[in-house]
Amino acid sequence: MTDTPFSDESDSQGPRAGTMARQQAIYTAGMSGQKPAVPVDYAALEAAAEQRMSREAFAYIAGGAGRESTMSANRRAFERWRIVPRMLRNVDRRDTAIELFGRRLNQPFVLCPIGVLEMAHGEADMAVARAAAARGVPMLFSNQASRPMEDCVAAMDAVAPGAPRWFQLYWSKSDALVESLVSRAEACGCEALVVTLDTTLLGWRSRDLDMAHLPFLLGQGIAQYTSDPVFRESLAGTDDSGPRPKITTRTLRNVLAAARHYPGSSLRALTSGEALAAVRQFIATYSRPNITWADLAWLRERTRLPIVLKGVLDGADAKLAVEHGVDGLIVSNHGGRQVDGARASLDALPEIKAAAPDLPVILDSGIRGGADVFKALALGATAVGLGRPYAYGLALAGENGVGEVLDNLAADFELTMALAGCADIAAVRAGETRLVRDETIAG
Ligand code: FNR
């Protein structure tokens, strides 16, 4: 392989083969007229996924809070930083590996927790689990997953035993449920506990509101609850007061859907009333808006796992996190789904890194390509979290679709890093390649 445009010595000798092979595979398939089924370009990926999903599913995944200004701020923040590539720096051997919570990862990214993946594809979390495990990319099991974490773990271990997995917790009103979820996560071999702080209440999601559609009411995205012994036990005493929908054929269809989503016999779930009780109980207890920093000590006593706080956007909160002994932070605005008008997550990163210099800091919200990963690492992130792009890959082609999105990001990042003049992540972090501000892009 010395006379093709893909010739690249480091692919066979470097720490990890595959980046150039990815380009080569795509271009070679193109020789026989084949185009990637999962588009490489993010806008094309989103458009193709939209075609494949129901209107409700696409709205749920693509949408944000209010006028969605936080989503556009996330992208503008990345665009404002420009990379200043350095030349003649020997990038023949490249290494994109990092270490995170004692584990070596080949790429500096994790899969963000995304709930209700069944809206994107029937195999939902299971397909994501297999794709992530095959590549050694940590999967963050969502508290709102469509499949129980134990099922995902079995799927992952069948592909690559011990593949990295973390659990994301929404802090429920029920202490007993929190304890149960945490102990299940430990038993599943999760390597970190991510506590999402920004969703103590559900954001004002315009697209979902205009469709009057919330998947949880159909029994979707509550598999971690309906598979939980403590949650199931709590159903006996549920309160069935509260607003009730008008009964129409649509109501009946939705009640049947909730029963179908409940574990075991759907008929039993329907006639016993358990499926609807589960939905009601979930709505009543899934979040606890009165948690405060002081409550973290309670959680600390109940787990030996590293505790990572997700949703931190202020340096003052990062300082508090350090004072309360947490082990890591995820700088995130939940992909613009919670506070319309919130600051871009990338804009918060330098301040948060300065306030918590010794903690691993992961950045999500707006990662769409390799250059975004590069910029986040150069601004102090230990790793980044990938969100919507993998959900779209899932919608288009299940496990393979998620895999393609991950492989594309890995290749894109490695090439960006090399072409910018950095052979490894240490060089990116050390600022060997500068970022400059493009002042023409408004904040
Ligand atoms: C999310 N996110 C999320 N976060 C979390 O902690 N628990 C969850 O269950 C979910 N569910 C969820 C569903 C959907 C459809 C989306 C798009 C996002 C937020 C997610 O983890 C991450 O912060 C964002 O996706 C990052 O933004 P981008 O890059 O996807 O725009």
Pocket test for ligand 1, best of 337, 367, 368, 372 (most atoms within 8 A of CB): 337
Burial class of residue 69, CB neighbours in 10 A (0-12, 13-18, 19+): middle
pLDDT band at 252 (very low <50, low <70, confident <90, very high): confident
Question: From the CA of 162, how far away is ligand 1's center (Å)?
Answer: 24
Question: From the CA of 101, how far away is ligand 1's center (Å)?
Answer: 22
Helix axis angle, 69-80 to 345-355, nearest 10°: 70
Among 83, 26, 60, 45, which residue's Cα sits nearest to residue 405?
45
Show the CA angle centred on residue 402, arms to residues 397 and 403, nearest 5°: 105
Chain segment 122-162, per-residue pLDDT in tens: 999 999 999 999 999 999 999 999 999 999 999 999 999 99
Look at residue 127 in the predicted model and tell me its pLDDT.
99
330 within 8 A of 192, measured Cβ to Cβ: no
Give the ligand 1 atom nearest the CA of 144. Answer: 9
Phi, psi of 269 (to 5 degrees): -60, -35
Question: From the CA of 334, how far away is ligand 1's center (Å)?
Answer: 5
Phi, psi of 253 (to 5 degrees): -60, -40
pLDDT band at 2 (very low <50, low <70, confident <90, very high): very low
The b-or-e profile of 329-348 (16+ CB within 10 A means b, else e) is: bbbbbbbbbbbbebbbbbbb
From the candidates 121, 213, 261, 334, give the one annotated as an active-site residue: 334
Give the ligand 1 atom nearest the CA of 334. Answer: 23
Chain segment 171-219, per-residue pLDDT in tens: 999 999 999 999 999 999 999 999 999 999 999 999 999 999 999 999 9
Mean pLDDT of 246-272: 87
Chain segment 299-345, per-residue pLDDT in tens: 999 999 999 999 999 999 999 999 999 999 999 999 999 999 999 99
334 is catalytic: yes
Question: From the CA of 385, how far away is ligand 1's center (Å)?
Answer: 10
Using CB distances shorter than 6 Å, the residues near ligand 1 are 60-61, 112-115, 142-144, 168, 196, 310, 332, 334-335, 337, 364-367, 387-388
Among 131, 133, 115, 126, which residue's Cα sits nearest to residue 196?
115
Say yes or no to pLDDT of 258 above 90. no
Residues 111 and 221: their CA atoms lie apart, in Å, by 17
Decide: helix, strand or coil at residue 99. Answer: strand
Question: From the CA of 289, how far away is ligand 1's center (Å)?
Answer: 19
pTM of this prediction exceeds 0.85: yes
Give the ligand 1 atom nearest the CA of 113. Answer: 21
Look at residue 246 in the predicted model and tell me its pLDDT.
83
74 within 8 A of 363, measured Cβ to Cβ: no
Cα dihedral value 92, 93, 96, 100, nearest 10 = -160
By percentage, how much of the chain surpasses pLDDT 70?
94
